[in-house]
């Protein structure tokens, strides 16, 4: 084994050990604050509790975002500027390619004001059993179980969760992966389904599932009459008009990795075993009143059209090596805004990373000291 190979393996091992240590001094101290020290404030749903929880949650997600940044996986944002929507209620629809999608979205979102404090992730239930699952449960993310046999039950649970956790904790952005699984696992099934039902045949994305998206839009959309929907079981943090505002935007977000057949994964994020590269994240923002909600079929057709546009973007990117600002079919449109042609390299502030790690380390030492004192007291 040559020296270069030894150094490469050593780097990967050091990165993994660093992440394990980071998890040990970040996640337990967050849980101790949220579920032990500040628990009385959680029980009474105090606004101060959810403010502190949001700050610590944002710090944790920034730590995770730092793993991809450290590995020199550069996020390049294109299309509409979502930084203008940080105070608006938005539903993000994202294509799902690999386990790297979520940490790289965290990397993209961490520089957008304090949006990570008020974000809600809707993920597969298996994520609940990861090291970060307890944090997501505390914050109020939703874990969905797929399958026709539990669909009605899951939709009811999701609606209740949106009212109690999304509205009740004054969240802003919802991130949903409508495809219901990774591209590599669902592509063959998607093509068969599209061929059988005369839907668009897509090869770079898979046909999205509409159920969760439709429920979210019908529950939180402008026609939902949220003030009347909220009953005695749903308590708002402050009881203000702002907390009853509906969704304002649907954001179509397209993730593109440089290698179509081998996208980055969580292992690459953690170990840096893949070479540095650029990952593209393309946004198209649609006002909620432009999204058809009169029937499932019209919403399905609208969503399939968005996914066909994703297909255009990705197909051209992999054919030319250059990610387009807009789909080829829309380039002659006179209605496109100038900001559709923007390109932005996501950055992280090393001072912020050092500050966050210092806070978590100090908090962990403080909790260790408290536990030591409690243990000594219990011995007498």
Around Cβ 52, how many Cβ atoms within 10 Å? 16
State the pLDDT confidence band at 1, using cuts at 50, 70 and 90.
low
pLDDT digits (tens, 9 = 90+) for 223-266: 877 777 665 567 777 767 778 899 999 999 999 999 999 999 99
Q: Where are the domains of the chain?
A: 74-322
- Calculate ∠ Cα 327-89-96, nearest 5°: 45
Distance (Å, whole) CA 225 – CA 245: 9
Q: What is the mean pLDDT of residues 202-212?
A: 96
Question: Which residue in the block uniquely carries the two structure tokens 């079981």?
Answer: 233
Q: 58 and 111 in contact (C-beta within 8 Å)?
A: no
Helix (H, G, I), strand (E, B) or coil at 176: strand
150-156 LR contacts (CB < 8 Å, sep 24+) = 151/211, 155/211, 155/212, 155/215
Would the pLDDT of 136 be above 80?
Answer: yes
pLDDT > 90 fraction of the chain, expressed in percent and rounded: 78
Exposure on the CB side of residue 15, measured as CA atoms within 13 A? 23
pLDDT digits (tens, 9 = 90+) for 314-344: 999 999 999 998 888 887 654 555 546 789 9
Mean pLDDT for the chain overall: 92
Q: What are phi and psi of 322, to 5 degrees?
A: -125, 125
pLDDT, position 285 = 97
Which residues on neighbouring strands pair with residue 222, listed in sequence order? none
pLDDT digits (tens, 9 = 90+) for 91-100: 999 999 999 9
pLDDT digits (tens, 9 = 90+) for 262-315: 999 999 999 999 999 999 999 999 999 999 999 999 999 999 999 999 999 999
Class of domain 74-322: alpha beta
Question: What pTM was computed for the model?
Answer: 0.94
């Amino acid at each position: 084994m040559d020296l270069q190979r030894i150094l490469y393996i050593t780097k990967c091992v050091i990165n993994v050990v660093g992440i394990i240590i980071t998890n040990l001094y970040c996640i337990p101290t967050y849980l101790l604050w949220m579920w032990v020290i500040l628990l009385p404030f959680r029980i009474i749903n105090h606004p101060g509790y959810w403010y502190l929880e949001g700050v610590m949650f944002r710090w944790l997600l920034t730590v995770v975002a730092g793993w991809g940044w450290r590995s020199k996986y550069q996020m390049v944002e294109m299309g509409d500027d979502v930084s203008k929507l940080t105070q608006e209620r938005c539903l993000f629809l994202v294509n799902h390619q690999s386990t790297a999608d979520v940490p790289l979205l965290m990397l993209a979102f961490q520089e957008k004001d304090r949006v990570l404090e008020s974000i809600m992730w809707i993920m597969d239930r298996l994520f609940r059993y990861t090291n970060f699952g307890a944090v997501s449960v505390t914050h109020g993310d939703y874990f969905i179980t797929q399958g026709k046999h539990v669909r009605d039950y899951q939709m009811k649970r999701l609606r209740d969760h949106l009212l109690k956790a999304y509205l009740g904790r004054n969240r802003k952005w919802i991130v949903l992966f409508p495809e219901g699984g990774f591209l590599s696992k669902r592509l063959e099934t998607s093509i068969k389904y599209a061929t059988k039902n005369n839907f668009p045949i897509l090869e770079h994305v898979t046909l999205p599932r509409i159920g969760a998206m439709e429920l979210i839009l019908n529950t939180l959309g402008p026609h939902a009459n949220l003030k009347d929907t909220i009953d005695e079981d749903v308590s708002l943090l402050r009881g203000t008009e702002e907390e009853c505002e509906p969704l304002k935007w649907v954001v179509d977000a397209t993730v593109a990795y440089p290698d179509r057949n081998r996208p980055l994964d969580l292992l690459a994020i953690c170990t840096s075993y893949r070479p540095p590269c650029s990952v593209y994240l393309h946004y198209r923002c649609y006002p909620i009143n432009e999204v058809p909600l009169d029937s499932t079929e019209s919403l399905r057709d609208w969503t399939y059209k968005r996914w066909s546009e994703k297909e255009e973007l990705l197909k051209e990117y992999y054919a030319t090596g250059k990610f387009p600002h807009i789909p080829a079919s829309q380039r002659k449109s006179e209605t496109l805004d100038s900001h559709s042609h923007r390109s932005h390299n996501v950055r992280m502030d090393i001072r912020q990373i050092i500050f966050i790690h210092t806070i978590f380390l100090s908090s962990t030492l403080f909790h260790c000291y408290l536990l030591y004192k409690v243990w000594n007291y219990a011995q007498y």
